[in-house]
Amino acid sequence: MRTMNDRGSKDAKRPLRRAHVVRLMHYYHLLREWIGRGNGDTVSSSQIAEWLELDDTLVRKDLAAIGVRGCPRIGYAAAEVIDAIHKNLGFEDQHRAIVVGAGRLGGAIAAYPGFARYGLTIVGIVDNDPDKLGQDIAEHRVLPLDALPDLVRERQVDVVILTLPAEAAQDAADRAVTAGIRAIWSFAPTSISVPPEVKVRHEHLSTGFAELAYHLKQTSPEGK
Amino acid sequence: MRTMNDRGSKDAKRPLRRAHVVRLMHYYHLLREWIGRGNGDTVSSSQIAEWLELDDTLVRKDLAAIGVRGCPRIGYAAAEVIDAIHKNLGFEDQHRAIVVGAGRLGGAIAAYPGFARYGLTIVGIVDNDPDKLGQDIAEHRVLPLDALPDLVRERQVDVVILTLPAEAAQDAADRAVTAGIRAIWSFAPTSISVPPEVKVRHEHLSTGFAELAYHLKQTSPEGK
């Protein structure tokens, strides 16, 4: 429970808001690219702000909130920012996930090589389609959806990744919650209901496209 | 070119910033779910703000910027907000995309049913792997990467979706730019260089996971 004292205490940090977490991820990706391209070890808040189209005071505030401060005329040590984000967002913890849905998207996610960096390991894949059972997808034998509770216990799973059609998502989410899952990452094109202690992150693949559609609209000859 | 007069003019709107576009997409998805669940026709800025963990003044400002205003004690007409976002972000325009990379993720994207709503149609899929040529993925025959410029012209393509490994992404992006593409949606885990008039949207599948990892960290018994 949060008390009045938390506000003034340095150790009892207030939780970050959702939009803050998302911006930290943008800084993280940006700075990893920045270092990877040999741009040097430091970066200024105004450079970050310009690339991401944010205010640089917001960038400084976001970084200060996770304990990172820049130096005047030098900026931030990019590696320090990356480390701080990594630690503050919990990527040092290990998480184990089951993919629910062995379709194309489920297969793509089960095979995606980029999750290990964030402490996420895919440990199984289940589906309710009898035709898919027994197939091997990205080194995982597809098991029945009914096996989910046992898998959650046996493989110490704490995240479920839903890649099912809309009509099957709620049932799968209910099973995951009953099995004790507290985090659901849903790629299903629908909303799902869960108890308040369970976090659902809805992934809308189309959100990324919105930025491109807007750019095309702004730069098209008729759009001006 | 933007002139001083644009600032005061209602018709010559200033372009929305990237973070604003992304928030509008969050409102869009939220309100579509809201209506779909039979919650009524109106919604308040404070409800939107609470769900998305934003300030409600920001929500009101974001909506006012696209010409939507709420009524005191009633809120916003959800359908009106959805329509305004749809129109302002350019989803009424039609866009045609080629998927570059016929792997699992390319296949998942080519087969994804949710893009039509945003005016996006997948009209082809190419790959540089000879083993994949001639396969049919989501009703598209996989064609060689060399065919990209011809396809862009013949099929009036304005978006290229990269689902290649990191090492192949820059070459594919270069070919797309040479062919006249102005919008690249990249799922490749790397940065790519393009001329300033070309917009690249990098999709990091792991960004969504950050929110869940943070939730698990905040709610784990050791994390408190």
pLDDT tens figures, B94-127: 999 999 999 999 999 998 888 988 999 999 999 9
B213 touches chain A (CB under 8 A): yes
Q: Do A209 and B118 touch (CB under 8 A)?
A: yes
What is the pLDDT at residue A12? 45
The residue-averaged pLDDT of B83-92 equals 94
pLDDT attached to residue A13:
64
The pLDDT assigned to B51 comes to 86
Residue type, A198: V
Q: Position of tokens 């098209």?
A: A220
Q: Contacts of residue B182 in chain A, CB cutoff 8 Å?
A: 215-216, 219
Whether A22 and B223 lie within 8 Å, measured CB to CB: no
Say if A93 is an interface residue toward chain B (CB within 8 Å): yes
| E runs forming strands in chain B | 42-43, 76-77, 95-100, 120-127, 136-137, 140-144, 159-162, 183-186, 199-202
Interface of A with B in 97-126 (CB under 8 A): 103-105, 107-109, 111-115, 117-120
Where chain A has pLDDT below 50, the residues are: 1-12, 223-224
> Distance between CA atoms of A43 and A34, rounded to whole angstroms?
9
Considering only residues 52 to 91 of chain B, which have any Cβ-Cβ distance to chain A shorter than 8 Å? 52-54, 88-91
What is the longest distance spanned by two Cα atoms in chain B?
62
Q: A residues 25-54 near B, CB within 8 Å?
A: 25-26, 29, 33, 36-37, 52-54
From the list A17, A104, A218, which residue is nearest B107 (CB)? A104
Check residue B13 and give its pLDDT: 64
* pLDDT-derived band at B2, boundaries 50, 70, 90: very low
pLDDT at B88 over 50: yes
When mean pLDDT is compared across A72-76, A93-97, B170-174, B179-183, the lowest value belongs to A72-76
Query: How distant is the Cα of B1 from the closest Cα of chain A, in angstroms?
Result: 10
**First-residue to last-residue Cα distance in chain B:** 53
Q: How many CB pairs under 8 A join A and B?
A: 202
Torsion over CA of B114, B120, B124 and B129, rounded to 10 degrees?
-70
Residues of B with Cβ-Cβ distance to A207 under 8 angstroms:
22, 25-26, 29
Scan for tokens 């989910």, then name that residue.
A148
pTM: 0.84
Burial class (CB in 10 A: 0-12, 13-18, 19+), B196: exposed
Looking at residue B6, its pLDDT comes to: 38
Range name among A17-26, A158-167, B6-15, B215-224 with the lowest pLDDT average? B6-15
What pLDDT is attached to residue A223? 46
| Structure-block tokens of residue A135 | 């197939």
Task: Inform me whether the pLDDT recorded for B38 exceeds 80.
Answer: no
- The β-bridge relationship of strands A199-202 and B120-127 is unpaired
Nearest to B53 among A18, A205, A213 (CB): A18
